[in-house]
C-alpha cells in the first residue's frame, strides 16, 4: 500500500500530508514532483493545499496543465483513489475530475479557523469510519473556498450522494453549505478543510485521522 503526495510550485501543505500518512497513519508515502509523468505503484494520490503556481491566474488553473495531471486522470480512471485538499480540490475541479468551481469567499477575506463539518455520506472509501450525520471539527485556511455549481449538476450530485461534507455554519458562502464532494464513482474526493492538520492528539483533535484510516480500510478491502 503506497500513498503519493504531489508537489506543485507553491504547495505548502505537502509536508503536512506526508507527515499525516507516514507518522500518524504509519504507511508508505513518497513525494511526487509535478513534472513527473507516471504514477505506477501508487494506490492513493494526494493533491495538497497551498498556492500552486502562486494562484496568479486562478486557483488551480495553471496546475491542471502540469505533466503529472495526465497521470492523475489515468490513475482516477482506473478506479484508484485521489484526494484533493484545499488547493488540491481547486485543481481537481479545474481539471474536470470533480464538478463545480471554487470562487472567492463571500466576505472576500482569507479565513483561517477550525470549523464544524457534517458527514453527509459514509458510502465512500474516504469516509467509511465516520457516522452519517456526525459532526467533526476540521481546520480551514482559504480565500477561495466558496463552492459553486450549476443547478442541474447540483441536483444530480444530490441524487447520487456526491456531497460528502457540509459546513454547519458555512463560513465562505458555498452552495448548499458544501465543504467536500466526490465523483460519481466515489474514488475521487475534493474538500476545502484540512484533515491532515488534525491527525494527532498533540494537536488537540484527531477527527481528520479517520479519513486516512478509511482510505487504508478501503485499500485493504480491495486487496
Active site residues: 86, 194, 196
User: Residue 103's closest CA among 66, 144, 69?
Assistant: 144
The contacts of residue 63 (CB under 8 Å, 6+ apart) are 8, 34, 52, 53, 69, 87, 91, 94
Cell (9 digits) for 50: 497551498
Cα separation, 107 vs 122, in Å, equals 31
Any idea what DSSP says for residue 61? Answer: T
Q: What's the number of CA atoms in the CB half-sphere (13 Å) around residue 11?
A: 24
Cell (9 digits) for 159: 441524487
User: Residue 72's closest CA among 60, 62, 81?
Assistant: 81
Cα separation, 48 vs 84, in Å, equals 6
Host H or E run for residue 202: none
Three-state DSSP class for residue 45 = strand
Amino acid at each position: 500500500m503506497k500513498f503519493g503526495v504531489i508537489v506543485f510550485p507553491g504547495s505548502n501543505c505537502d509536508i503536512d500530508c506526508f507527515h499525516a500518512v507516514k507518522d500518524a497513519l504509519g504507511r508508505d508515502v513518497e513525494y511526487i514532483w509535478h513534472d513527473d509523468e507516471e504514477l505506477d505503484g501508487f494506490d492513493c494520490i494526494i493533491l495538497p493545499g497551498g498556492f500552486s503556481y502562486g494562484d496568479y491566474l486562478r486557483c488551480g488553473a495553471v496546475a491542471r496543465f502540469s505533466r503529472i495531471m495526465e497521470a492523475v486522470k489515468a490513475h482516477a480512471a482506473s478506479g484508484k483513489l485521489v484526494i484533493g485538499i484545499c488547493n488540491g480540490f481547486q485543481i481537481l475541479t479545474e481539471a474536470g475530475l470533480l464538478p463545480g468551481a471554487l470562487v472567492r469567499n463571500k466576505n472576500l477575506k482569507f479565513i483561517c479557523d477550525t470549523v464544524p463539518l457534517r458527514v453527509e455520506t459514509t458510502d465512500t472509501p474516504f469516509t467509511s469510519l465516520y457516522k452519517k450525520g456526525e459532526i467533526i471539527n476540521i481546520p480551514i485556511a482559504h480565500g477561495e473556498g466558496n463552492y459553486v455549481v450549476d443547478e442541474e449538476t447540483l441536483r444530480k450530485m444530490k441524487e447520487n450522494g456526491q456531497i460528502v461534507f457540509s459546513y454547519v455554519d458555512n463560513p465562505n458562502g458555498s452552495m448548499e453549505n458544501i465543504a467536500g464532494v466526490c465523483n460519481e464513482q466515489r474514488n475521487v474526493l475534493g474538500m476545502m478543510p484540512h484533515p491532515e492538520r488534525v491527525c494527532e492528539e498533540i494537536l488537540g483533535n484527531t477527527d481528520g485521522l479517520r479519513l486516512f484510516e478509511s482510505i487504508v480500510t478501503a485499500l485493504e478491502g480491495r486487496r
